[in-house]
Amino acid sequence: MTQINTNIPSVIAQANLNKNNKELALRLERLSTGIRINRGADDPAGLIISERIRSEIQGVNQGIKNSERASSVVATTEAALAEVNDLLNSIRSLIVESASTGANSAAERDANQLQIDSAIESITRISNTASFGGLKLLNGSLDYSLSGVRSSAITLAKINNASFANQTDIQISVDVVASAQRGALFFRGAATPAGVTLSAMTLEVRGPKGVQVISIASGQQPFINLVQAVNQLKSFTGVEATLINNNANSGITFRSTDFGSDALVSVRRLDAPQNPATDSWTLYKFNNNLPLPGGTPFGWPGFLASGSLTAATQDNGQDVVALVNGNLASGRGLNVSINSPSLGLELTLNEGAATRPASTPTSFNITGGGALFQLGPEVTVLQQVAIGIPSVAASKLGGVLIGSQLQFLSSLRDGQSNSINNSARRNDFTASQLVLSKAIDDVTILRGRLGAFERNVLDTNVRSLQASFENLTASDSSIRDADFSVETSRLTRAQILTSATTSVLQLANQQSQQVLQLLG
């Protein structure tokens, strides 16, 4: 059948030519862009996966930048803290020099005090001026804000890290379940006469600070004399003595000046009693570190019969045991601490609260603050790290109980109302040394925490994210990028097919013209 209205071979050739032209255009586009998926139609499923991977790549890349910036913040902070450390060490040198009153005149000690005052002012100035890109680092603006802290229960509170996790504040509950105790030994002496030793005695008293030997002569009030002798040396031994119920007839309590398992007290008689029957020397300690009952005379027969007392020559104290928000905290003396990704804190409990497990739990709130670092590609608490950077001003460093008052580094300045290092006290730098040592510990521990954060969190996070960035980029490339060897091969095929189809279309059009030959 010969037809001219519809040239079927031409239609077929045109369809194939269009198909081949599209194929040719596709190969040329991929080769010119280097990308296999230029639009959704190229590979819908591949485009979805690729865009998700690209989103992750952007998040990972920004996480790397955030971590590197955080490292810069930490490095700047640590450099400022290093200067504070140097100043504190110089203060220590000046205090040690001034303590040698036999080799330094009053004028020299006054000159040293001027240097101490200047160093303390410099520490506060560094605290107020250390910054990174306008962000104050050491003035307390990156520390956590607290409310409701009762001084009758908590002497000092420090928050190292806290995760709010969509909360406006965090309530902290502290419940003491086992009391802090001092090391304690009890001596009653002979039953008759009560409170009197019938012969002189020589005692070795040993505590956390050292050991001393005391000799007591027999007399009308030997227990009172013994208490005075022990207390006179407590700065050398760390052991103090009191009369039980403030009554020489009741006996003596020997106890460590500090609380905790490191607070050892040991009292040992070096000479033998002249008459063991009437002048015995036996010390006792309470079982399970139970506190000494108050309000009634020391009833030896009752305590011995009940098994509350046992003979001993030494005793250790007990660390406080507390629950913080239901979690068991680590105790050391009067201090409790907890360290977890959601909460890290250090608390110094008041003696009354730490020694009364039956008392009502105390609570306070963390209302805000802290430095929050976004280290991962997704904004979730699992990929964020919060850390508190407290102020290192002189009024914040230290924090040691001297008597009944909490003293800070600023109290070492002369002329302060609460100065513990003024001209009137310049022959005894013991309290100053305690405050300074605590201040040095505060700064070095903060530097250690920041160093651990940089080394164990930021540096490892950067390495991990860089590995993720490489693998994600490789995955996206395998999905999205064009394979030039494949594309050039298919381009050649498309070029040949296009050329062949064009020739076929030309032949198909010529075939219709052959009908004219039938018309003669």
324 close to 174: Cβ distance less than 8 angstroms: yes
What is the pLDDT at residue 296? 40
Q: Are 240 and 232 in contact (CB under 8 A)?
A: no
Higher pLDDT: 2 or 128? It is 128
Distance CA 72, CA 66 (A): 10
Q: How far is CA 17 from CA 12, 182, 364, in A?
A: 8, 98, 80
Provide the mean pLDDT of the chain: 84
- In this prediction, residues 110-120 reach a mean pLDDT of 90
In sequence order, what are the residues at sequence separation of 6 or more whose Cβ sits closer than 8 angstroms to the Cβ of residue 110? 423
Give me the pLDDT at residue 463, please.
94
Per-residue model confidence as pLDDT tens digits over 226-254: 888 899 998 889 999 988 878 777 788 89
pLDDT 10s digits, 371-419: 999 998 988 888 889 999 999 999 999 888 777 778 888 888 876 656 6
Q: What is the pLDDT of residue 38?
A: 84
Tell me what pLDDT residue 198 has.
62
Q: What is the DSSP string of 382-427?
A: GGEEEE-----STTTSEEEEETTEEEEGGGGSTT-TT-SSSGGGTT
Confidence grade of residue 293 (pLDDT, cut at 50, 70, 90): very low
CATH of 61-142+370-471, one of 3.20.20.370, 1.20.1330.10, 2.70.160.11, 3.40.80.10: 1.20.1330.10
Contact 374, 65 (CB under 8 A): no
Express as a percent the part of the chain with pLDDT over 70: 87
- Residue 451 has a pLDDT of 93
Chain Cα centroid distance, residue 422:
35
- If pLDDT is split at 50, 70 and 90, which confidence band does 363 have? very high
Percent of the chain with pLDDT over 90: 40
**Exposed e or buried b per residue across 488-497, where buried means at least 16 C-beta atoms within 10 angstroms of its C-beta:** eebbeebeeb
Question: Ranked by mean pLDDT, which of 10-19, 155-164, 423-432 comes out on top?
Answer: 155-164
* pLDDT over threshold 50, residue 295: no
Of residues 289 and 229, which shows the higher confidence score?
229
- Give the pLDDT of residue 426: 56
Q: Angle, to 10 degrees, between the axis of helix 460-480 and the axis of helix 44-99?
A: 170
Q: Is the pLDDT of residue 492 over 50?
A: yes
Given a cut of 80, is residue 366 above it in pLDDT? yes
State yes or no: pLDDT of 520 exceeds 80. no
Distance CA 189, CA 250 (A): 9
- Cβ-based burial of 102 (10 A; exposed 0-12, middle 13-18, buried ≥19): exposed
Which pLDDT belongs to residue 289?
A: 47
Calpha distance 143→282 (Å, rounded): 53
**Angle ∠(45,51,54) on CA atoms, nearest 5:** 140
Is the separation of the CB atoms in 46 and 479 below 8 Å?
A: yes
Closest C-alpha among 64, 138, 146 to residue 363: 146
Give the pLDDT band of residue 118 (cuts 50, 70, 90).
very high
- 166/433 Cα distance (integer angstroms): 44
Query: CB of 419 within 8 A of CB of 407?
Result: no
Q: What pLDDT does 400 receive?
A: 83
Question: pLDDT, tens digit, for every residue of 325-338?
Answer: 999 998 999 999 99
CA distance 66 to 394: 32
Domain borders along the chain are 61-142+370-471, 144-178+321-366, 184-316
**Which residues, including other chains, have CB under 8 Å from residue 295's CB and lie 6 or more apart?**
none
Asked if 206 and 266 count as a contact pair (C-beta separation under 8 A), the reply is yes
Q: Look at residue 220 and tell me whether its pLDDT is greater than 70.
A: no
Dihedral sign (CA 276, 277, 278, 283): positive
Say whether pLDDT at 14 is over 70: yes
Query: Is the pLDDT at 292 greater than 50, yes or no?
Result: no
> Taking the chain, what is the end-to-end CA distance rounded to the nearest angstrom?
19
Q: In this predicted structure, what is the pLDDT of residue 294?
A: 42
DSSP calls for 47-101: HHHHHHHHHHHHHHHHHHHHHHHHHHHHHHHHHHHHHHHHHHHHHHHHHHHHH-T
Q: What mean pLDDT do residues 190-204 have?
A: 68
CB 9 within 8 A of CB 506: no
pTM to 2 decimals? 0.80
Mean pLDDT is lowest, of 71-75, 205-209, 303-307, 440-444, for: 303-307
Decide if pLDDT at 99 tops 80.
yes
Residue with tokens 């540096």: 459
Higher pLDDT, 59 or 275: 59
